[in-house]
Structure 1
Amino acid sequence: MGPLIGEDGVARCPWAGGAGVMRDYHDEEWGRRVHGEAAYLERLTLEAFQSGLSWSTILNKRPAFREVFHDFDAEAIAAFDDADFARLMDDARIVRNRLKIQATITNARATVALRDQEGLEAFMLSFAPEVPPAPTDTAEMATMSAESKALSKELKKRGFAFVGPTTMHALMEAIGIFDPHLVGCFRRGSG
């Protein structure tokens, strides 16, 4: 399926159909480059929490995620202890998944450690595909790539968790490592 024309006359990727949180995310954020460690850690965390759930669920809980994870300040999260973990497990405003919460703390610690090298942003950007995909319909859209497999493998080597190749491909799309929009979508090429 190619881009669809919405009631507003604009061609978009088909998952961004009607008005609401998904279309807003598509139009304003998905595929746009983000900057800074906290932005990268936030997207990495949200993609991990999304695994097995709908993206709209995560977007609707995003304000609470930002609050409980201190706007994704890696040092603050890295300092979380057992009491913080218990507090998060009791907070119904977020997804209360033991493994995903622990992965967030683990990933914050790995992010802090990565500062001694190139840092999280530069590290992730180094996995940009040489030839970015340019799908014309959803059947051509990949759910993983050689680059997402390599990113997953290297993140795991550096102590990150919940960073499988499919999740990393979704992350690469979300943060604009390459343009994920279908050819014909009004956002294609707008960075």
Structure 2
Amino acid sequence: MTVEKFSSIYQRAVDRKGGEDQLEKLLSTPLSKTELAAIPEDRWLSAFSMKVFQSGISWDVVRKKWPNFEELFFGFKIEPLLMLSDEVWEERAQDPRIIRHLVKVMSIPRNARMIYEARAEHGSFSEMVANWPLDNITGLWEHMKKHGDRLGGNTGPYTLRTMGADTFIFSTDVEAYLRNTGVIDSAKTTKRAMTAANQAFCQWREESGRSLSEISQIIAYSTGENRI
């Protein structure tokens, strides 16, 4: 697979954003493996749940109500939540203090189970994420989609990015770039497209020494409708 040199992508982003200093100020960097591994598991569940609720709903509305979610769901502590019966979950899904959406509320115990089950093989969900090989980061996306609930599409990857994990994202601009340059030629959710994208990002990572997260952002800034 032939991909554009990262130096060319970077220079285009620099030109669009008004200079190297301006571009660099826009970039967020991932946490270290040590920092990732230390994240409490309840923070992962809270983050996954917030992203699930933000899908199709005003992000600002969800954020304003989130303290009520934290209170109602035990601060998203894994063990207490796994002890609740389906009847209790259905009751809490109707609580007027939160956004009442049964299907999305039921994603909470299912994702709690995914986080809990990661302990057996990896020690903790945080350690699993921290040690996941970057040359197969889309495999982590697939793991979350398969073992979690409502974490397919960009929901899982966006949550990873929010929490500081090193990952690229199929944002509108990134997907358009990959498609227009022939890196992917099928639906972004296919294994073929995810593998091809992952390989391209790893090549750019080797060229630049930058994280997948930074490369993803730079590609987004190098294309689309985001000139200064």
The share of aligned pairs that are identical, in percent, is 22
Q: Match for 1:177 among 165, 168, 181?
A: 165
Deviation at 1:109, TM superposition (A): 2.0
Q: Which residue of 2 aligns with 1:154?
A: 143
Q: Match for 1:168 among 150, 156, 166?
A: 156
Gaps of 5+ in 1: 4-10, 14-25, 131-145, 184-191
In 2, the alpha carbon distance for the partners of 1:12 and 1:69 equals 37
Deviation at 1:95, TM superposition (A): 1.9
Matched to 1:46, the amino acid is M
Say if 2:94 and 2:102, in contact at 8 Å, map to a contact too.
Answer: no
Larger radius of gyration: 2
In 1, the alpha carbon distance for the partners of 2:96 and 2:139 equals 35
Q: Which has the higher helix share?
A: 2
The reply on whether 1:84 has 2:88 as its aligned counterpart is yes
Deviation at 1:37, TM superposition (A): 0.9
Question: TM-score, structure 1 length as denominator?
Answer: 0.63
In 2, the alpha carbon distance for the partners of 1:31 and 1:55 equals 22
- Pairwise mapping of residues 94-113 of structure 1 onto structure 2 (< 5 A)? 94-113=98-117
Aligned residue pair count: 144
Question: TM-score, structure 2 length as denominator?
Answer: 0.54
Gaps of 5+ in 2: 1-15, 19-23, 167-210, 219-228
Matched to 2:107, the amino acid is A
Say if 1:128 and 1:177, in contact at 8 Å, map to a contact too.
Answer: no
Q: Match for 2:58 among 49, 54, 61?
A: 54
Q: Which residue of 1 aligns with 2:131?
A: 126
In 2, the alpha carbon distance for the partners of 1:129 and 1:115 equals 20
Say if 1:75 and 1:109, in contact at 8 Å, map to a contact too.
Answer: no
